[in-house]
Amino acid sequence: MDKATSVDVEMTKEPSSDTSSVWGGIDLGGTKIEAVVIDTAGAVLGHARHPTPGDGSVADVVQAMYGTLREATHAAGVTPQRLAGVGVGAPGSVDANKGTLSHVSNVGQGWKEPYPVAADLGDLVEGKVALGNDVQVAVAAEYRLGAGRPYRSVLGVWWGTGVGGGLVLNGVPWRGRGAAGEVGHVVVKPGGARCGCGRRGCMEAYAGRAAMERRARKAVRRGEKTMLFELMHKKGRPRLTSSIWSKALADEDTLATWLIDRAVRMLGAGLASAINLLDVEAVILGGGLGTRLGPDYAKHIHEAMRPHIFVPERQPPVLVAELGELAGAIGAALLGQPPMK
């Protein structure tokens, strides 16, 4: 990945000599691409991370995905072509059977029409690529290997560039027709703020990192003060990352605090509505912001849900994802494994 501005590559475990039991996973996000190589037990053998091309075409994004996977396999002592399988978790509407991805608003230039991501990436890795929704696969990984292990039914909420969701109901990942669990597009304010999806009043329009950054920029143009963009320039970042929001909150930046508090209120209202409909046993909080702020803000979201819960004595806990930012990539790798017997 010649154009990458930063990279994180690491080996976390000795590579296996049996590549028939080694799988690759790619988590495609709005600000970063994460890739891992895992073994049969889900242990991470190699890991790499690169920024997502901010203004790239879909083809550019696919090339960046392949480059990140290639570095992860190098860290694991293999090559992409020797993997037993490859999975991709991506935002938007996924047609797993056709391997296409559509209605993507937070990646590169974005696109609405179905694009054959699995086929294009498959040509590069010289093998079959399985495609799944990014949050759905991350939630499946948390259910199998992380915070969801004690439960039969969970709602995963991935708070990052956008707000994604995924469901496991009675032990079975529920995908509907491909877009189930999109809790970020629950309407929390009819006629409210414009969302990246083009509609108004979605939870993501208030809680998504991209939406909060747009709101912060408008505030600065009106003369409001904030350290958010000063921190962004100091770190050499093109966008307000989760670490920048965390630092601004720690320093009690007024605008950052107001925007995050508003996000928490909207998350509370929207998630409570989902709980009232589905009555799941637990909520798992992941994603860039969810992982970074979760230890402090999971309880704030739980409290924001309380006034809206229909059966308050049975309100489910809000848990931080145990697999952290690797949940999506690990879940994607699990897509390539044969079904558990």
- Burial of 97: CB neighbours in 10 Å, binned 0-12, 13-18, 19+: exposed
Highest mean pLDDT among 9-13, 25-29, 134-138: 25-29
Each residue's pLDDT tens digit, 307-338? 999 999 999 999 999 998 899 999 999 998 86
**What are the tokens at 54?**
């901010």
* pLDDT, tens digit, 9 for 90 and up, residues 171-191: 998 988 777 888 999 999 999
Fold of 149-321: Nucleotidyltransferase; domain 5 (3.30.420)
Summarised one tens digit per residue, pLDDT across range 246-291 is 999 999 999 999 999 999 999 999 999 999 999 999 999 998 899 9
Task: Estimate the share of the chain in helix, then strand, then coil, as percent rounded to the nearest 5.
Answer: 45, 20, 35
The CATH-assigned architecture of domain 8-138+326-335 is 2-Layer Sandwich (3.30)
Beta carbons of 214 and 195 less than 8 angstroms apart: no
Name the phi and psi angles at 286, rounded to 5.
-135, -160
* Nearest residue to 70 via CA among 61, 83, 79: 79
Domain boundaries, the chain: 8-138+326-335, 149-321
pTM score, two decimals?
0.81
Give the integer Cα–Cα distance in Å for 133 and 62. 16
